[in-house]
Amino acid sequence: MIEAFSIAELATKVQSGAVSATEVAHDVIARIERYNGRFNALVSVEPARILAQAAAVDQKRARGEALGALAGVPIAIKDAICTEGESTTAGSKILRGYAPPYDATVIAKLRKADALLTGKTNMDEFAMGSSNENSAYGSAKNPWDDTRTPGGSSGGSAAAVASRMALGALGSDTGGSIRQPASLTGTVGVKPTYGRVSRYGLIAFASSLDQIGPFATDVRGSARLLEVIAGHDGHDATSLNVPIDGYELACSASLKGLRVGVPEEYFAEGLSPDVEGSVRAALARLESDGCIITPIKLPHTRFAVATYYVIATAEASSNLARFDGVRYGLRVASPSLGEMYGATRDAGFGKEVKRRILLGTFVLSAGYYDAYYLRAQKMRTLIRRDFEEAFKKVDVIASPTAPTTAFKLGEKADDPLAMYLSDIYTLPASLAGVPALSVPCGADQGGMPIGLQLVAPPLQESRLFTFASAVERHYAPTLPTGVQ
């Protein structure tokens, strides 16, 4: 049943009583039982909780109360976002068995909107990865081809939506961890402006970069989800106290006369010919819809990967110091406190997390701070200024989301640099703190999805939804073969 509906369509059905939330709950539980063993998208599912949520929504309607914007809509949650009393482990052994005593702000907002929270999704440990292969639970798999990655770090959220085990999901995006998986799985993924969505209750990776955002089967669904979770939150010092636009309304706005910037730096060596062809075809369609296509330059793009992996690892080394076996999670018994710290962290953290902690500690250490961390922060400013200059000439920037379609599981596992380059087109927008979105725009010769990335000025998410809706009109959402 649920695979036939968009988020907006299903919410309308439940609000009207044409479909009960309990019917939806039984259907989504059945889909999870049918497909999750194959795709490993969800790592924690409690059917009784799903049914209890659904019963509460149906009882609310029976009392004559108005239902929320996500009434009865199944939404999956990345395992890095706290849900009260439910397992939240950030894909790591070090947090096995941890159940937070509170809900993240975004979770409270989803509950208020009457969504059905279907479970926690697989992810790269502490959001560190681009393929979901760093998870303590094993990799999630791409529903289009289960020998391939769904992307990372929010790969489980993307796979859950692509296979319709949920119609929407929350992920987190630090350097591309929503947009890249969305591109690889044929879903819509949104990274909001930094500060647009509260980070309260998100297990931190790199605090100046992390943002929670939505996945959905279609653009309008992602707009509705963002409208629900966005807004100021006093629990988060970085949360912006600014009005929320009508994102769903923006999906039907006119494109005529709007300017699309196409950065030459994003069409360089390493870009798959299939990806380039699909993206350029999508740009041509935008032009036929009345847009003005304008070549632009983002000259500091070539420094984005190095800049990101200095800043992000530095912040990670600080944030992950709290996982020491003392207060929660894994504890390895040892003769002394110092030995317990070391043994716990050695047993609890995976290889990639250890690598990034070591890198971050190094770039912050005496004698190297100025040479690495300070220089990276200066370069981050230059990257942000590139976008500021570009947005004086154009309304949005369009590019490939990822340089290739989904790669084989294991293909890049032993080559960290090759893995890091998977996010080469998503990192600059993260460093600049501007909003960005990935929308499907075709497929390669093997049928694997390709995503178009749209980037807008700060707090202009509405523009993303306007442009993405225009792209979507030419590329209707489709289900992977085998999950009909």
Where do the H-state alpha helices sit in 265-374?
273-288, 304-319, 337-348, 351-364
CA separation for the pair 114, 167 (Å, rounded): 14
Token digits of residue 281? 């075809």
Please, what's the largest Cα pairwise distance for the chain?
Answer: 71
Count CB neighbours of 226 within 10 A: 26
Contact call for residues 14 and 57 (beta carbons, < 8 A): yes
Q: Is 399 a catalytic residue?
A: no
Measured over the CA atoms of residue 15, residue 18, residue 21 and residue 24, the dihedral's sign is negative
Where do the H-state alpha helices sit in 166-261?
179-185, 219-229, 247-250
Helix (H/G/I), strand (E/B), else coil: 240: coil
Q: Which of 13, 78, 191, 412 is catalytic?
A: 78
Considering only CA atoms, give the Rg of the chain: 21
Q: Is 334 a catalytic residue?
A: no
Burial state string for 30-45 with b = 16 or more CB within 10 A and e = fewer than 16: ebbeebbeebbbbbbb
In a 13 Å sphere around the CA of 474, the CA atoms on its Cβ side amount to 21
Q: Which of 153, 163, 172, 278 is catalytic?
A: 153
What letter does residue 423 receive in the DSSP assignment? G
Contact call for residues 128 and 149 (beta carbons, < 8 A): no
Q: Is 153 a catalytic residue?
A: yes
Q: Which of 135, 177, 198, 438 is catalytic?
A: 177
Catalytic residue positions, numbered: 78, 153, 177
